[in-house]
């Protein structure tokens, strides 16, 4: 499944890759700059505390204090805590940096053929000097100098630079495939391109900034989480600064370093250290999946999506309809109908036509015949006749839209309106008995979600070919999965409501919008949003742009128009509309990872209290040793073990932060139960074991 692929494509070995780790270690130190640290309140506080205790330590070193070895070790681990946090962020960024590097290579200096007049006259200029609105000529072998819109011509373009896909794609003026990206290469033919992006703000430039994390703004949930963490930090300030007074009352005193150790272990350093790494890794997962999110906010919104709008064609069904049955009128055998239908389709190179030939062969053993052998002439499909067929050996076979065929055999009956698949506009009274029968069959087919094609031989109706949309394999299961995630799917189609309903039922979508115009789409999105729902959709055409902009998550296809790409907040480089589902999963994974590590971090505090509180007060209340349930060997070793655990857990959780917590579409209740068990209960239990183990090591190494 695609999700599996996703996991595989995001290896967690980044921590072992020296190309990432070595720069990350360096960055861990440069990130100590307080101006950078202040963005992360929890770790900033740890840095301040570490710096202050270092100063105190140095003073004591000069004046000659006691217990300096212990103090030194605590301070060392305080600095490690900060460095590990920086390291986590640097590793997350490192993976993006490597990607940005390869993108930069495509942005080499290129020459552009700037068109100067109406004709083909051009002058060579530097690609970097192009302005928005300039028109350039790009010929076979040239690199497209900047993002733009094809205004004339057709060309095959190699977009491997951005998509990694080496098969060339067609770019042409007009229609939905008119956008070209700077840095991609024209392989054949030529196109004229109107430049739409200035240097520095092209697609590749934006991509580089995104994957490097240079423009990373905190997302709404991240901001809220930071507030929570800052609040908890303040609460623990109160909890620790009041302790000296309590101790004084009890006739004891507590050293600054022990208070600092308690404070740092209590504040949520684990999640504080990993928070930005989680965010960067989330964006990175999308990039690895060939989806570019224009903001972290969009990724987060993807996790919240309630309603998914999916285009029928290409997403839910295969692009083409296929023949699935021959339905003869009374007095005609299926065999005869199949034979005539195949004959009529021999020269029809459309996928529908070929599927008729294949069906006739598979079902009735009618072999394909050679047109030339039969001496047949092909009558091609035209918009006027809306039928096609063959004239051979004095007989003529035709197939076509039902209303057109009725008109053809009936002679004078009025033409049906062009839009419907059925000939409702025809007066039933004006039809022959056979005509009415064909009409009935056609209606049945439409109701079942198919498209009818009538077949006639020598002016006599034989029956109807049933063409059907083929629903993609496995899509039904995907929709069931989405339903378990609590997401409603709505199919968008230009089909009439009857056909749409049948396909919707077959594919298992929750709802559909038939005969949809761009305005209908926009209205549907607004209606859903008015109900408080978040809507995701994907689109490629210029007429999708308003809906893409209105949707909370709008994924534009890379093959689409520039307008669509501007309007969406994500771009799918593979232009695969089904990917919307994975985008939602990645969004959910991002939120879950944050929640899981926050819960884990807070739950950890229980064990730390049991380690430090008895150690702290042992000197004047020896009874409190009862609380030393981990049976740590000495107050010093207990405090040291707690602070070491607190630092090491950051390193231990970096892979999880980068990989993300696994998402399963099992419903929110089951998901929560599972995660609470692992990260909540686990968060309470694990530090008890970890601190005890570290204590054993600390004692064995005579560190305290």
Partner 1 sequence: MTMIGWLQIILFCVIIVALAKPLGGYMTRVFNGERTFMSPVLRPIEAAIYWVSGVDERREQHWLTYTVAMLLFHVGGFLIIYGVMRLQAMLPFNPADQSAVAPDLSFNTAISFITNTNWQNYGGESTVSYLVQMLGLTHQNFLSAATGIALAVALIRGFSRASVRTVGNFWGDVTRTTLYVLLPICVVYTLFLVWQGIPQTLGAYVDATTLEGAKQTIAVGPVASQVAIKMLGTNGGGFFNANAAHPFENPTALSNFVQMLSIFLIGAAMTNVFGRMVGNQRQGWAILAVMGVLFIAGVAVTYWAEANGTSIMHALGLTGGNMEGKEVRFGIVASSLFAVITTAASCGAVNAMHDSFTALGGMIPLINMQLGEIIIGGVGAGLYGMLLFVVLAIFVAGLMVGRTPEYVGKKIEAREVKMAMLAILVLPLMYLGWTAVGVVYPAAVASMANAGPHGFTEVLYAFTSATGNNGSAFAGLTGNTFFYNLTLASAMFVGRFFMIVPAMAIAGSLAAKKSIPPSAGTFPTTGGLFVGLVVGVILIIGGLTFFPALALGPIVEHLAMNAGNVF
Number of residues that bind partner 1 (CB under 8 A): 75
DSSP track, 448-517: TTEEEEEEEETTEEEEEEEEEEEEPTTHHHHHHHHHHHT-EEEEE-SS-HHHHHHHHHHHT-SEEE-S--
Binding segment for partner 1 (CB under 8 A), chosen from 99-107, 138-146, 233-241, 455-463, is 233-241
User: Which 3 state secondary structure label does DSSP give 395?
Assistant: strand
**Which helix (H) or strand (E) is 74 found in, with range?**
helix 68-106
**Which helix (H) or strand (E) is 190 found in, with range?**
strand 185-195
Binding segment for partner 1 (CB under 8 A), chosen from 86-94, 392-400, 611-619, 693-701, is 611-619
**Residue 532 sits in the site that holds partner 1 (CB under 8 A):** yes
Question: Out of 448, 679, 686, 690, which residue is the one contacting partner 1 (CB under 8 A)?
Answer: 679
**Cα end-to-end span (Å), the chain:** 52
**Interacting residues with partner 1 between 467 and 486 (CB under 8 A):** 483-486
Q: Determine the Cα–Cα distance for residues 450 and 355; give it in Å rounded to an integer.
A: 14
Could you tell me the sign of the dihedral formed by the alpha carbons of 434, 438, 443, 448, in that order? Answer: positive
Tokens representing residue 552 in the block: 């909370």
Q: Which is nearer to partner 1, 501 or 613 (CB)?
A: 613
Q: Which residues pair with 556 in a beta bridge?
A: 539, 571
**Residue 624 sits in the site that holds partner 1 (CB under 8 A):** yes
Q: Which is nearer to partner 1, 147 or 300 (CB)?
A: 300
Question: Out of 22, 61, 170, 234, which residue is the one contacting partner 1 (CB under 8 A)?
Answer: 234
> What's the farthest any 2 CA atoms get from each other in the chain?
118
Question: Out of 605, 611, 649, 654, which residue is the one contacting partner 1 (CB under 8 A)?
Answer: 605
**Interacting residues with partner 1 between 295 and 324 (CB under 8 A):** 300, 303-304, 306
**Residue 662 sits in the site that holds partner 1 (CB under 8 A):** no
**Residue 217 sits in the site that holds partner 1 (CB under 8 A):** no
Binding segment for partner 1 (CB under 8 A), chosen from 61-69, 107-115, 127-135, 236-244, is 236-244
**Which helix (H) or strand (E) is 158 found in, with range?**
strand 148-158
User: What Å distances lie between residue 402 and 251, 268, 338, 415, 416, CA to CA?
Assistant: 100, 70, 17, 11, 9
Residues with catalytic roles? 311
The nearest distance, CB 249 to partner 1, in angstroms, is 4
The nearest distance, CB 267 to partner 1, in angstroms, is 10
**Interacting residues with partner 1 between 248 and 287 (CB under 8 A):** 248-250, 266
**Which helix (H) or strand (E) is 570 found in, with range?**
strand 570-572
Within 10 Å of residue 153's Cβ, how many Cβ atoms? Answer: 17
**Residue 526 sits in the site that holds partner 1 (CB under 8 A):** no
Tokens representing residue 136 in the block: 């350039």
The nearest distance, CB 245 to partner 1, in angstroms, is 4
**Interacting residues with partner 1 between 580 and 599 (CB under 8 A):** 587-589, 591-592, 594-596, 598-599
Give the contacts of 118 (CB within 8 A, at least 6 positions apart).
none
The nearest distance, CB 611 to partner 1, in angstroms, is 12
Residues in contact with partner 1, shown as a per-residue x/- string from 358 to 377 under the rule CB under 8 A: --------------------
The nearest distance, CB 258 to partner 1, in angstroms, is 12
**Beta-strand runs (E) in 294-410:** 307-311, 317-328, 377-379, 387-392, 395-401
Could you tell me the sign of the dihedral formed by the alpha carbons of 687, 689, 690, 695, in that order? Answer: positive
Question: Out of 238, 382, 427, 701, which residue is the one contacting partner 1 (CB under 8 A)?
Answer: 238
Question: Out of 663, 687, 692, 704, which residue is the one contacting partner 1 (CB under 8 A)?
Answer: 663
**Residue 415 sits in the site that holds partner 1 (CB under 8 A):** no
Q: Determine the Cα–Cα distance for residues 395 and 326; give it in Å rounded to an integer.
A: 21
**Residue 220 sits in the site that holds partner 1 (CB under 8 A):** yes
Q: Which is nearer to partner 1, 162 or 254 (CB)?
A: 254
Question: Out of 673, 685, 689, 693, which residue is the one contacting partner 1 (CB under 8 A)?
Answer: 673
């Amino acid at each position: 499944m695609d999700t599996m692929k996703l996991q595989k494509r995001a290896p967690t070995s980044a921590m072992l890759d020296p190309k990432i780790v070595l720069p990350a270690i360096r960055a861990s130190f440069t990130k100590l700059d307080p101006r950078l640290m202040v963005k992360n309140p929890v770790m900033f506080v740890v840095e301040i505390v570490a710096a202050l205790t270092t100063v105190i330590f140095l003073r004591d070193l000069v004046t000659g204090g006691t217990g300096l070895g212990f103090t030194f070790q605590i301070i060392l681990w305080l600095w490690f805590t900060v460095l590990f946090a920086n390291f986590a962020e640097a590793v997350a960024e490192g993976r993006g940096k490597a990607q940005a590097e390869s993108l930069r290579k495509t942005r080499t200096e290129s020459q552009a053929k700037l068109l100067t007049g109406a004709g083909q006259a051009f002058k060579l200029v530097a690609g970097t000097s192009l302005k928005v609105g300039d028109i350039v000529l790009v010929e076979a072998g040239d690199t497209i100098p900047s993002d733009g819109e094809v205004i004339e011509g057709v060309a095959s373009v190699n977009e491997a630079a951005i998509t990694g896909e080496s098969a060339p794609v067609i770019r042409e003026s007009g229609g939905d495939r008119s956008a070209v990206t700077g840095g991609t290469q024209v392989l054949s033919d030529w196109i004229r391109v109107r430049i739409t992006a200035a240097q520095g703000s092209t697609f590749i430039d934006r991509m580089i900034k995104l994957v490097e994390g240079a423009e990373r703004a905190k997302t709404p949930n991240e901001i809220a989480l930071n507030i929570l963490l800052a609040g908890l930090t303040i609460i623990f300030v109160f909890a620790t600064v009041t302790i000296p007074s309590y101790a004084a009352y009890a006739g004891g005193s507590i050293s600054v370093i022990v208070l600092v150790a308690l404070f740092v272990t209590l504040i949520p350093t684990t999640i504080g250290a990993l928070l930005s790494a989680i965010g960067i890794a989330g964006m990175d997962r999308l990039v690895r999946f060939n989806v570019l999110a224009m903001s972290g906010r969009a990724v987060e919104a993807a996790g919240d999506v309630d309603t998914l709008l999916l285009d029928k064609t290409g997403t839910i069904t295969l692009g083409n309809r296929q023949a699935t049955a021959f339905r003869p009128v009374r007095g005609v055998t299926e065999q005869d109908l199949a034979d005539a239908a195949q004959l009529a389709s021999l020269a029809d190179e459309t996928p529908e036509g070929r599927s008729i030939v294949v069906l006739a062969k598979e079902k009735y053993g009618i072999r394909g015949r050679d047109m030339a052998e039969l001496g047949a002439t092909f009558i091609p499909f035209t918009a006027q006749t809306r039928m096609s067929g063959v004239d051979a050996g004095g007989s003529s076979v035709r197939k076509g839209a039902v209303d057109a065929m009725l008109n053809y055999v009936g002679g004078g009956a009025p033409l049906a309106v062009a839009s419907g698949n059925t000939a409702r506009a025809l007066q039933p009274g004006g039809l022959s008995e056979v005509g009415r029968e064909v009409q009935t069959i056609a209606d049945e087919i439409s109701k079942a979600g198919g498209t009818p094609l009538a077949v006639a031989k020598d002016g006599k109706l034989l029956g109807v070919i049933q063409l059907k949309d083929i629903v993609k394999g496995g899509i039904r299961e995907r929709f069931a999965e989405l339903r378990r995630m609590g997401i409603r799917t709505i199919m968008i189609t230009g089909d009439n409501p009857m056909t749409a309903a049948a396909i919707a039922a077959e594919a298992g979508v929750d709802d559909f919008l038939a005969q949809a115009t761009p305005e209908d789409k926009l209205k549907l999105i607004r209606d859903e949003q008015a109900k408080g729902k978040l809507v995701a959709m994907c689109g490629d055409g210029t007429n999708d742009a308003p809906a893409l902009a209105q949707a909370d998550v709008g994924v534009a296809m890379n093959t689409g128009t520039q307008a669509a790409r501007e309007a969406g907040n994500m771009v799918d480089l593979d232009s695969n509309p089904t990917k919307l589902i994975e985008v939602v999963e990645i969004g959910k994974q991002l939120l879950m990872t944050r929640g899981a590590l926050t819960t884990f971090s807070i739950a950890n505090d229980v064990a730390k209290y049991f380690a430090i509180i008895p150690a702290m007060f042992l000197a004047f209340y020896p009874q409190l040793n009862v609380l030393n349930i981990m049976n740590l060997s000495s107050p010093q070793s207990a405090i040291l073990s707690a602070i070491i655990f607190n630092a090491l857990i950051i390193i231990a959780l970096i892979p999880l932060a980068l990989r993300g917590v696994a998402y399963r579409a099992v419903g929110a209740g089951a998901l929560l139960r599972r995660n609470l068990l692992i990260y909540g209960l686990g968060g309470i239990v694990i530090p008890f074991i970890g601190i005890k183990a570290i204590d054993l090591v600390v004692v064995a190494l005579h560190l305290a």
